[in-house]
A and B are shown apart, each in its own frame.
Chain A
Amino acid sequence: MTAAPMTDTAPVRAVIPPAARQSRFIRLLRASRSWLAIALALVIWEGVVGWADIPTYMLPAPSAVIDAFTAQPQLYLEGLWATTKMSLLGFAAAIVIGVFLAVLMARSEMFEDLAYPFLNIIRVMPTVAIAPLLIIWFGRTGVPIIICSCLIAIFPIIVDVAHGLTSVDRDLINMMKLANAGELSVLTRIRIPNALPYLFSSFRIAAPGAVVGALLGEFIGSREGLGYLITVYSAQLNTAAVFVLALLSCLLGVVFFNVCVFAERIIVPWKSVVR
């Protein structure tokens, strides 16, 4: 059949599908489903502990954990604040030192070849083994804790930033050469902006890592912070308190992670996301 003249027949109109509105209850349920899952898990936990009559020192029920927290919230929050400070300092040190080393490694192949073996040795050496040494050197101050935190956070930063600095489009560099740009201009105007999305994706690993490192440092040698309190209460078999401390540690790591994700959205909006 050939195309009919437009005048003979009425033009075909597309059918607009009618609006389908879900009920408010369904939408609310959908929005809160991950929270509901957590709530359900807590209810089951509470029920199982009560039904099987598990002693609190083995596995405290959620209600016991809440009781432990409300008994002395001041103590826990001070510990949380101490660990937050140490994690932030360790993370900041990791960013400064990591970016500096990454720039050097991206600039000079010789430096990269010379530095990698040392970095790898520090990387594979367990932080648990280094921490007592750091305490011998620096005493029971904040310094070993900051170093532990930095050590765990720094590696993803170095690796990703060095990658970001070097994975620049060759022709963009050629364009800069033809404009008679200096090495410093290429670094500040091309390489560093190009590495920013890489820096932020490294934060997703490095930021929770900084928290873990700080906890580990406190665990081994400190008189404050969540890590120290865990050693105290686990020695007393106060399992409910240990649960409080573990949950606060989780909370800190999650907050660090989400702050970095939020900052990423604001600072590198050009990063394309493909799902």
Chain B
Amino acid sequence: MPLHQGQALTAPHDSASPHGPADPDCVRLRDLCIVFGRGESAVVAVEGIDLTVRPREIVSIVGHSGCGKSTVLRAIAGLLPDASVQGQLSIHGQTPEQARRAGLMSMVFQEPVLAPWRTAEANVQLPLQVARGQRPAPAKTAQEQLELVGLKGYEKRYPRQLSGGQRQRVSLARALMMQPKVLLMDEPFGALDEITRDEMHTELLRIWGTTEASIILVTHSITEAVFLSDHVLVMAAHPGRVTDFVTVDIPRPRRSDFKDTSEFVAIQHRIRTALEAHR
């Protein structure tokens, strides 16, 4: 199959309504390869990734550091130079660039990356203030969005007056302000302590329940991946590739005691085995 750089995969059966239920695929990667540099100095970061994410699914990507999991996420977000991305990559039938213009995606990073000169509320409003083009009216005000993430009463605080967990909640509220169809999360809880992180897992599921977003989550925590996801994509490095695809067939809503069940431990074991087999 010939590879076309950055080409969108259009839905062949029903291209008229790419957002409708006739096209259940939300994010689709086919034979995704990412190569940085050219000639002798070229580095193959990721090779041959296939992934399908359906609407309202949570899919995690786990792997050792340096396996290219964040790079895949950045490719989906359209943050990589076009020349480095090969294969097919579509978000609701559009290229990452088009999807970005249409405001289909937003992202939460490992660090909250808030503007220190803006209050929590003003930080949450920022994406809407700068977005170009037609956007649907926001379903929630910044204040309501902050209330959803559990920060009622903190609207006027500056980032330096918030704890690490609270800052990450502001960052999540800011991402949700765009009403994304796809929420990309790059190790969002990696900088938090374990107690706060456990709390954020249940919080994320609660908040996600109120949205229409699919989530693609990059993490190096197996527990986090299993607890949150419908599917877990396990990657290995040199070059970055998929070594296992695990489905977590546990009904929602999930509570934190799910982490203590034998099913949970079994799935964790399978992922750990896949990770250790391809060091």
A interface residue numbers (CB < 8 A to B): 169, 171-172, 174-182, 185-186, 189-190, 193-194, 196, 268, 270, 272
Q: Is the CB of A270 within 8 A of B132?
A: no
Interface residues in B86-121 (C-beta closer than 8 Å to A): 100-101, 103, 105-107, 109, 111, 113, 115-117
Q: Which residues of B lie under 8 Å from residue A180 when comparing CB positions?
A: 100-101, 103, 130-133
Asked if A179 meets B115 with Cβ closer than 8 Å, knowing A270-B158, A270-B160, the reply is: no
Q: Is the CB of A174 within 8 A of B130?
A: no
Which one of A171, A179, A193, A268 lies within 8 Å of B111 (CB-CB)?
A171
Q: Which residues of A lie under 8 Å from residue B160 when comparing CB positions?
A: 270, 272
Instruction: Give 29 A-B contacts (CB < 8 Å), ordered by A residue.
Output: A172-B113, A174-B79, A174-B109, A175-B107, A175-B109, A175-B127, A175-B174, A177-B78, A177-B79, A177-B100, A178-B100, A178-B106, A178-B107, A178-B178, A179-B127, A179-B131, A180-B101, A180-B103, A180-B133, A181-B127, A182-B130, A182-B132, A185-B129, A268-B117, A270-B116, A270-B117, A270-B158, A270-B160, A272-B160
Q: How many residue pairs at the A-B interface have CB separations less than 8 Å?
A: 70
Find the A residue at minimum CB distance from B103: A180
Check: B246 CB closer than 8 A to any chain A CB.
no
Q: Is the CB of B133 within 8 A of A171?
A: no
Find the A residue at minimum CB distance from B180: A178
Check: B275 CB closer than 8 A to any chain A CB.
no
Q: Is the CB of B77 within 8 A of A174?
A: yes
Q: Which residues of B lie under 8 Å from residue A174 when comparing CB positions?
A: 77, 79, 107, 109
Q: Among A174, A179, A190, which residue has the most Cβ atoms of chain B within 10 A?
A: A179
Find the B residue at minimum CB distance from A181: B130
Q: Which residues of B lie under 8 Å from residue A182 when comparing CB positions?
A: 130, 132
Q: Which residues of A lie under 8 Å from residue B130 when comparing CB positions?
A: 176, 179-182, 185-186, 189
B interface residue numbers (CB < 8 A to A): 77-79, 100-101, 103, 105-107, 109, 111, 113, 115-117, 126-133, 158-160, 174, 178
How distant is the Cα of A189 from the Cα of B101 in the complex, in angstroms?
19
Find the B residue at minimum CB distance from A272: B160
Q: Which residues of A lie under 8 Å from residue B131 when comparing CB positions?
A: 179-181
Q: Which residues of B lie under 8 Å from residue A171 when comparing CB positions?
A: 109, 111, 113
Find the A residue at minimum CB distance from B184: A178
Q: Which residues of B lie under 8 Å from residue A178 when comparing CB positions?
A: 77, 79, 100, 105-107, 127, 178
How distant is the Cα of A189 from the Cα of B122 in the complex, in angstroms?
11
Q: Which residues of A lie under 8 Å from residue B133 when comparing CB positions?
A: 180
Q: Is the CB of B129 within 8 A of A189?
A: yes
How distant is the Cα of A174 from the Cα of B184 in the complex, in angstroms?
12
Please provide the 3 A-B residue pairs with the shortest distance between their CB atoms, ordered closest to farther: A181-B130, A179-B127, A185-B130
How distant is the Cα of A272 from the Cα of B159 in the complex, in angstroms?
11
CB distance from A177 to the nearest CB of B (A): 7
How distant is the Cα of A172 from the Cα of B159 in the complex, in angstroms?
14
Which one of B103, B113, B116 lies within 8 Å of A179 (CB-CB)?
B103
CB distance from A238 to the nearest CB of B (A): 52
CB distance from A259 to the nearest CB of B (A): 22
CB distance from B240 to the nearest CB of A (A): 20
How distant is the Cα of A185 from the Cα of B115 in the complex, in angstroms?
14
Q: Which residues of B lie under 8 Å from residue A169 when comparing CB positions?
A: 111, 113
How distant is the Cα of A175 from the Cα of B103 in the complex, in angstroms?
12
CB distance from A219 to the nearest CB of B (A): 41
Which one of A177, A181, A190, A268 lies within 8 Å of B115 (CB-CB)?
A190
Which one of B109, B113, B132 lies within 8 Å of A181 (CB-CB)?
B132
Q: Which residues of B lie under 8 Å from residue A189 when comparing CB positions?
A: 115, 126, 129-130
How distant is the Cα of A160 from the Cα of B159 in the complex, in angstroms?
24
How distant is the Cα of A189 from the Cα of B128 in the complex, in angstroms?
12
Q: Is the CB of B113 within 8 A of A175?
A: yes
Q: Which residues of B lie under 8 Å from residue A193 when comparing CB positions?
A: 115, 117
CB distance from A193 to the nearest CB of B (A): 5
Known: A179-B127, A268-B117. 17 other contacts (CB 8 A): A174-B77, A174-B79, A175-B109, A177-B78, A177-B79, A178-B100, A178-B105, A179-B131, A180-B103, A180-B131, A180-B133, A181-B127, A181-B130, A185-B129, A185-B130, A186-B130, A193-B117
Q: Is the CB of A172 within 8 A of B100?
A: no
CB distance from B83 to the nearest CB of A (A): 17
Q: Which residues of A lie under 8 Å from residue B129 when comparing CB positions?
A: 185, 189
Q: Is the CB of B115 within 8 A of A172?
A: yes
Q: Among B106, B117, B132, which residue has the most Cβ atoms of chain A within 10 A?
A: B117
Q: Which residues of A lie under 8 Å from residue B127 when comparing CB positions?
A: 175-176, 178-179, 181
How distant is the Cα of A268 from the Cα of B115 in the complex, in angstroms?
13
Q: Which residues of A lie under 8 Å from residue B107 when comparing CB positions?
A: 174-175, 178
Q: Which residues of A lie under 8 Å from residue B115 when comparing CB positions?
A: 172, 189-190, 193-194
